[in-house]
């Protein structure tokens, strides 16, 4: 294949033509050109390329499929249509995690021992032990994780009901359990809640609040936003986070030191750890219910977002009246210790 243009759009076109012609060598050369020209490409080039490359994923063998999925993720990060790209990326990820689950099974059945890391070198000995397709699934998981998280940064993708996210999460958790490899970024991204009602009870004042959360990656972020809404809004006592702490926890770039204002507790009295995610908060009578107790000791962390590309939001919809708040308090365990 002769490259007529040493540009990113030209390389994408050459790759597209080579894949459709089943020209493996031409596709490989074009893929190299995509990387060589990517640095000079504009946002518009990425936005056009994303859906075109995503549409080719099913036609590619496992290794290049995962590599191209990462490029699709980069295109989405530069503004490509995430909902248009996500279905093919998620489909490829489900296939890879399905194969990886089989890899874990065959590894255990063929003698066990410590699994190779997904970013280790794939050797002939490993392929002979587990089979090629399972091995390729395992050794491409980190690339699929990156590509999927790029898709899930978009709220429209997370809110879509029919793109196989629940199936993918089940597969990721299955492989994580079998392998001991957490895949934390993808697991947390798939668990992110959007337009999710949250009832918060402040035990010290006996007050309650109906809120709604979206795009919050972990409970550090939730903790900071709760303090901003409730302490900053003069609803409960305490030291409110700064405007900068709130900004970086919503959509601003960067990180800033922060301190804990509460102890997050579930309705059962068990702590909700900052290291977890809002999906850890149990549902009571159809709503996630969270209790705020005084912090047992001083906590400090860096305020920001677990997913820098994901915008978070926490909105106070209303303050519960005394009777309604008391009704919710009746459903929670007493404070411990």
- For residues 208 and 324, the answer to whether their CB atoms sit within 8 Å is yes
Structure tokens at 56: 């080719």
Q: Hey, is 157 helix, strand or coil?
A: helix
DSSP symbols for 83-119 = HHHHHHHHHHHHHHHHHHHHHHHHHHHTT--PPPPTT
pLDDT at 102 over 70: yes
The model's pTM: 0.93
**Mean pLDDT, rounded, of the chain:** 95
Question: Where do the DSSP E strands lie in 167-303?
Answer: 196-202, 207-214, 256-259, 263-266, 283-284, 287-293, 300-303
Domain residue spans of the chain: 42-191, 196-329
User: What pLDDT shows up at residue 112?
Assistant: 87
Percent of the chain scored above 90 by pLDDT? 93
pLDDT (tens digit per residue) in 290-337? 999 999 888 899 999 999 999 999 999 999 999 999 999 999 998 775
User: What pLDDT shows up at residue 1?
Assistant: 45
pLDDT (tens digit per residue) in 214-242? 999 999 999 999 999 999 999 999 999 99
Structure tokens at 260: 């804990």
């Amino acid at each position: 294949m002769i490259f007529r243009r040493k540009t990113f759009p030209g390389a994408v076109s050459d790759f597209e033509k080579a894949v459709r012609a089943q020209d493996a060598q031409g596709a490989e050369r074009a893929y190299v050109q995509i990387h060589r020209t990517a640095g000079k490409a504009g946002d518009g080039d990425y936005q056009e390329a994303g859906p075109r490359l995503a549409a080719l994923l099913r036609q590619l063998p496992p290794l290049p499929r995962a590599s191209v999925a990462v490029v699709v993720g980069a295109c989405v990060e530069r503004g490509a249509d995430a909902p248009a790209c996500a279905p093919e990326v998620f489909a490829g990820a489900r296939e890879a995690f399905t194969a990886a689950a089989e890899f874990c099974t065959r590894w255990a059945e063929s003698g066990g021992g410590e699994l190779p890391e997904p970013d280790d070198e794939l050797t002939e000995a490993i392929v002979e032990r587990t089979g090629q397709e399972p091995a390729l699934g395992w050794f491409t998981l980190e690339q699929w994780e990156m590509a999927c998280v790029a898709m899930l940064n978009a709220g429209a993708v997370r809110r879509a009901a029919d793109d196989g996210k629940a199936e993918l999460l089940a597969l990721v958790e299955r492989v994580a359990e079998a392998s001991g490899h957490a895949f934390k970024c993808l697991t947390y991204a798939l668990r992110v809640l959007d337009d999710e009602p949250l009832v918060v009870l402040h035990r010290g004042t006996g007050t309650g609040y109906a809120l709604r959360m979206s795009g919050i990656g972990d409970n550090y972020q939730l903790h900071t936003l709760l303090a901003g809404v409730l302490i900053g809004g003069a609803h409960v006592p305490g030291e409110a986070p700064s405007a900068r702490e709130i900004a970086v926890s919503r959509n601003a770039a960067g990180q800033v030191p922060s301190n804990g204002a509460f102890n997050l507790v579930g309705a059962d009295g068990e702590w909700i750890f900052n290291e977890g995610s809002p999906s850890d908060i149990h549902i009571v009578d159809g709503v996630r219910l969270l209790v705020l107790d005084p912090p047992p000791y001083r906590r400090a962390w860096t305020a920001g977002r677990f997913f820098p590309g994901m915008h978070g939001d926490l909105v106070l919809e209303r303050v519960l009246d005394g009777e309604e708040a008391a009704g919710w308090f009746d459903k929670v365990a007493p404070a411990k210790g």
